[in-house]
Amino acid sequence: MGECEVCGAPFVCASVGRARRFCSAGCRQKSYRLRLRARMVAAGVVDDPSAVSSSRSLAQRQKQRQERLRGAERPPVAHEPIQGVKTPQTGLERDLRDMAALRRKVGAQQRRIEHLEQQLRMFGIEPTYP
């Protein structure tokens, strides 16, 4: 059994390979941020260790949250007009065009299957499928 260097949580060690030091990626990242903060303080880049933020500021998080909420009011991207296209073609229209092309392709394949089945029946073979 090993113990996480950051939170102290126990974890099972593998029998081969390098021994684990952290219980999760989050603890490994937290350890890196702590070492980075200590190096910055030692180098004199910052005076106060708490001055180095390991994540986005509250203002940045609030701004991004507001942008996400504003984006939720917009229609889905797949159905917005395509940028740079002069015709007012939307994602939905493009999907309908693609579906029609697939139907033609499937129709051709279905006709080929029916033709092959007909040839087999001419030789007295009844086509069966697993």
Q: 110 and 57 in one domain? A: no
Q: 3 and 66 in one domain? A: yes
Q: Say how many domains are in the chain.
A: 2
Tell me what pLDDT residue 74 has.
Answer: 57
Q: 63 and 3 in one domain? A: yes
Tell me what pLDDT residue 29 has.
Answer: 92
What type of residue is 57?
S
Q: 7 and 48 in one domain? A: yes
- The answer to the question of residue 8 being in a domain is yes
Q: 103 and 51 in one domain? A: no
The helix/strand count (H/E) of the chain reads as: 3, 2
Counting Cα atoms < 13 Å in the Cβ hemisphere of 1 gives: 5
Tell me what pLDDT residue 44 has.
Answer: 78
DSSP state of 13: P
Which of 45, 73, 101 lies at the terminal end of a domain, its last residue?
A: 73
Structural domain span for residue 97? 93-130
- The answer to the question of residue 81 being in a domain is no
- The answer to the question of residue 88 being in a domain is no
Tell me what pLDDT residue 72 has.
Answer: 59
Residue by residue, pLDDT tens for the chain (130 residues) are 788 888 888 888 888 888 888 888 998 999 998 888 888 888 877 666 565 555 556 677 677 777 777 765 655 555 555 566 555 556 677 777 888 888 888 888 888 888 888 888 888 888 887 7
